[in-house]
A and B are shown apart, each in its own frame.
Chain A
C-alpha cells in the first residue's frame, strides 16, 4: 500500500512525517545498541532480504499472486527496532529510486508500513506467545497471526489518517470498511507466508530469531508437524472473528454506490454544522450515517494501534538487555 503524493492532505503528511522521523530516530538508537558496529552490514543486508522478498510472488488462489510485506517478519526475526528501521529504509528507497509511493507521502507510508507493522506486529506476537505453547509450532502460529493482524493494523492506521487528512469525499467508515476488508484477505497471505518463513528460521538457527530469544531452545526443537489445513483454519478463524467484531461497528456503512445515491447533497450541509470545529477532515466525515458511532470506532481503533505500537516499543526496550549479547555473539561455524 504505497500511497502516492497528494493522497492525504499536507497537514497529515507533515504530522505523520514528524511521527515517523521520531520513530526512526528511536529505532536507530536501539538498533545501534542491539547490533553494535554490526548495525550497518546486518541491517543493510536484512533490508535487502525484505526488499527481495517483496519482489517474490507467491501463488494465492486461482492464478493470482501476492507477496510478503515483511514488517512483522522483520520485527519477529530482528526485533521491532531493527525491523521498523529496515522496512523504513526499504519504503524510503522505493519512493526515491523506484518512484513507488510518493516522496511527500513518506510520512504516512513509513508510519503505516514500517512503524505500525513492526512495533504492532511484534507486540501481538509477544502477547500470543503468552497464551500459545512455547514450542516451534506455537511460534509459527504466533508469527502468522501477528503478521496477519499487523497488516490489518496498518490498514486501520491508514483509515485513521484518512479521518484527519482525506483529500476527496469518501467517508471514514467506507474507507475503514474497505481497507480492513481487503487487508484481512491480504493478512491471511501475509500470515501464512510469515509463519512458515519464521518456522524455517527457528528450525535452522533459533538463536537468530530475536522474538524467541528468551524461549527454551530445547522446547523450540520439539517440532510437531504443522498441517497446512490447521494453519489455514486458524487464519480463517481469526479473520472471521475480526471481521465480525469490525462489522459490528462498521455495519452502518452501506455499499459505497448506494450511499452516493442516498446522500446526494443533503448530508454535507447537516454534517458541516455538527462538526464545524472538529479537527477531522470534512471529506472524511461528510456523509457519515452514524457519526458518533463512526468516531467511536475510529477512537477505539486509534487506542488499539497506539497500545500495540506502545507495547512493541516497551517490548523492544525491555528485551534490549537480553538482545545486547547478540552483538557479542561469535560467528557460527563456517562450513
Chain B
C-alpha cells in the first residue's frame, strides 16, 4: 500500500435540485501528504469527498488518483485505491458483526479465506480495535465505531484516505486515539473537519473551501493565524487557542 498523489482539476457538480455544490475546485496533493479541508457548512466539502471515489460523477473537471482518472470503467480500481470514511459511522457499519463489516470491502475485491482473515486482523490492529471482531457494530461506543469504520476502509489497503468529519461526536480520549492512529498511517490523507486544533495537530497543510472552490491553501498554522480569513469563511478557533503557541509546543 504505497501512497498515491491526488490531482483535482476544475471540478463542477450540480445537484438535481439545482444547487451547484462544486464550482471549479482545483487541488493537488502529493503522495503521503495529510491535508485538512476546512470551510463552513454547505461549502461543498462532503460533495467533493463523494467525487474522490466516484460516488458522484462531476459535470465538468476531473479527479485523478495516481495515474488513474476517477471514472468508469476504472471505478472498481479507484474504489480500491481511495478509502472513504463517512461522517456517520452508523452509515458505514452496516453488517451484523465487526468482522463481517471489515471483511466486506476486501471480499468485494475477491479475497477469501486466510488472506481475507489477515486483512481483517491487520486493519483492526492498525486502529487498535483488535478484540472487537465478534461485536455487533451498534453495540460499540462512539470512539470504537469511528475506529472500526476506519478499519473497514484500511482493510482494502487503500493508497488515499478521505475522512469526513472524523472527530465529530468523539470524547477527548476517543479523539486522541484517532489522532494517533491517523498519524501512524502512511496513506495520503484528505481530512474534512471543523475541528481546527485537530487539523493543526494532524495536517501540515490546509485548504479552505467555500462556495465550491478552494479559497486558501497553505501551511495550517499560517491559515489558522489569519483572523481575516477565518472570519470571512465562518471559522473560529476555540477560545484561548493560539496556533503559534500550539505549533511550538508540539
Contact = CB atoms under 8 A, between A and B. Distances in A.
Interface string A304-331: 0000000000000000000000000111
Contact of A330 (B15, B46, B94): B15
A41 B93 CA distance: 12
A3 B50 CA distance: 47
Given A41-B94, A330-B56, A335 B15 contact: no
A332 interface: yes
A329 B16 contact: yes
Interface residues of B, number: 13
B41 A332 contact: no
B19 interface: yes
A335 B41 contact: yes
B47 interface: yes
B42 interface: yes
B72 interface: no
B17 interface: yes
A333 B56 contact: no
B16 A330 contact: yes
> By DSSP majority rule, is chain B's interface helix, strand, loop, or mixed?
loop
A334 interface: yes
The listed residue with most B CB atoms (<10 A of its CB), out of A331, A333, A335, is A333
A93 to B, nearest CB: 13
Contacts of B19: 333
Nearest to B56: A330
A332 B56 contact: no
The listed residue with most A CB atoms (<10 A of its CB), out of B17, B21, B55, is B17
B21 A333 contact: yes
Contacts of A333: 15, 17, 19, 21, 47
Contacts of B21: 333
A332 B94 contact: no
B41 A331 contact: no
> By DSSP majority rule, is chain A's interface helix, strand, loop, or mixed?
loop
Contacts of A334: 46-47
A107 B51 CA distance: 46
A215 to B, nearest CB: 17
B60 to A, nearest CB: 15
Contacts of A335: 41-42
Nearest to B13: A330
Interface in B62-112: 94
Nearest to A44: B94
A329 B16 CA distance: 8
A221 to B, nearest CB: 13
Contacts of A41: 94
B26 to A, nearest CB: 22
A335 B19 CA distance: 11
B47 to A, nearest CB: 7
The listed residue with most A CB atoms (<10 A of its CB), out of B15, B21, B55, is B15
A166 to B, nearest CB: 41
A333 B42 CA distance: 9
A280 to B, nearest CB: 46
Contacts of A332: 15-17
Contacts of A331: 15, 50, 55-56
B168 to A, nearest CB: 13
A331 B41 CA distance: 18
A157 B17 CA distance: 43
B50 to A, nearest CB: 8
B100 to A, nearest CB: 14
A87 to B, nearest CB: 21
B62 to A, nearest CB: 18
A82 B15 CA distance: 26
Interface in B7-53: 15-17, 19, 21, 41-42, 46-47, 50
B246 to A, nearest CB: 30
Nearest to B47: A334
Contacts of A330: 15-16, 56
Interface in A1-49: 41
B42 to A, nearest CB: 7
A41 B95 CA distance: 11
A334 B55 CA distance: 13
A330 B18 CA distance: 12
Contacts of B50: 331
Nearest to A41: B94
B51 to A, nearest CB: 12
A41 B15 CA distance: 22
Smallest CB-CB A-B distances: 10 pairs: A333-B15, A334-B46, A333-B19, A330-B16, A333-B21, A333-B17, A330-B15, A335-B41, A332-B15, A332-B17
Given A331-B50, A332-B15, 8 more contacts: A41-B94, A329-B16, A330-B15, A332-B16, A332-B17, A333-B15, A333-B17, A334-B46
21 contacts: A41-B94, A329-B16, A330-B15, A330-B16, A330-B56, A331-B15, A331-B50, A331-B55, A331-B56, A332-B15, A332-B16, A332-B17, A333-B15, A333-B17, A333-B19, A333-B21, A333-B47, A334-B46, A334-B47, A335-B41, A335-B42
